[in-house]
Amino acid sequence: MKTEMSIAKMMLVIWLLSLCLFPGFAAADGYNEGVRAEVLLKATTTSNGQRLQYLKTDKAEVTAMRVTIAPGRETGWHLHVVPVYAYVISGKLTVFMADGKCHDFQAGQVILEVFNYPHNGINKGDKPVELIVFYTGAEDIPLVRKLAPPDK
């Protein structure tokens, strides 16, 4: 029973991720009438221009997480050693990169997070930022590695 639930959850995550990452409208891709899939983003690079990459592992693991950042709060400097994709449900998130550049993301946008690169997400608004985040990693590999702020 537990294995069946895990498989069902994995299938749901894969389906949700595919809605964000695969092109076209569903009706054109063989779905039944009345089903529409809208491409939110199709890209080959992360938000700072890195080529997308995937882990090579035989212990693949996907984690789907809802992340909420309160007004005025931040994630803290960190990096991901696994590919990470996020959908902004609400609010506006400003992501600062170690090189001093920043990127703004708002409700309805997809974030292809930077890979192995220090960054910090800050909610400068007066409403919570809510994200659905997909970590496509491997068993026993941390999703986030906390870092000290970069030297300025």
The CATH number that applies at residue 73 is 2.60.120.10
Residues 79-108: pLDDT tens digits? 999 999 999 999 999 999 999 999 999 999
* Same domain assignment for residues 99 and 49: yes
Q: How far apart are CA 25 and CA 17, in angstroms?
A: 15
Nearest to 95 by CA among 127, 128, 126, 117: 117
pLDDT digits 0-9 by tens, 109-128: 999 999 999 999 999 999 99
The pTM assigned to this predicted structure is 0.76
Let me know: does 109 contact 71? Beta carbons within 8 Å.
Answer: no
pLDDT at residue 152, rounded to an integer: 67
Residues 4 and 59 in one domain: no
38 and 110 assigned to the same domain: no
- Give the dihedral of Cα atoms 144, 145, 146, 148; nearest 10 deg: -140
**Same domain flag for 31 and 81:** no
Domain that holds residue 146: 44-152
| Same-domain status, 150 and 76 | yes
**Cα distances (angstroms) measured from residue 8 to each of 22, 67, 150:** 20, 22, 41
Look at the chain and report how many structural domains it folds into: 2
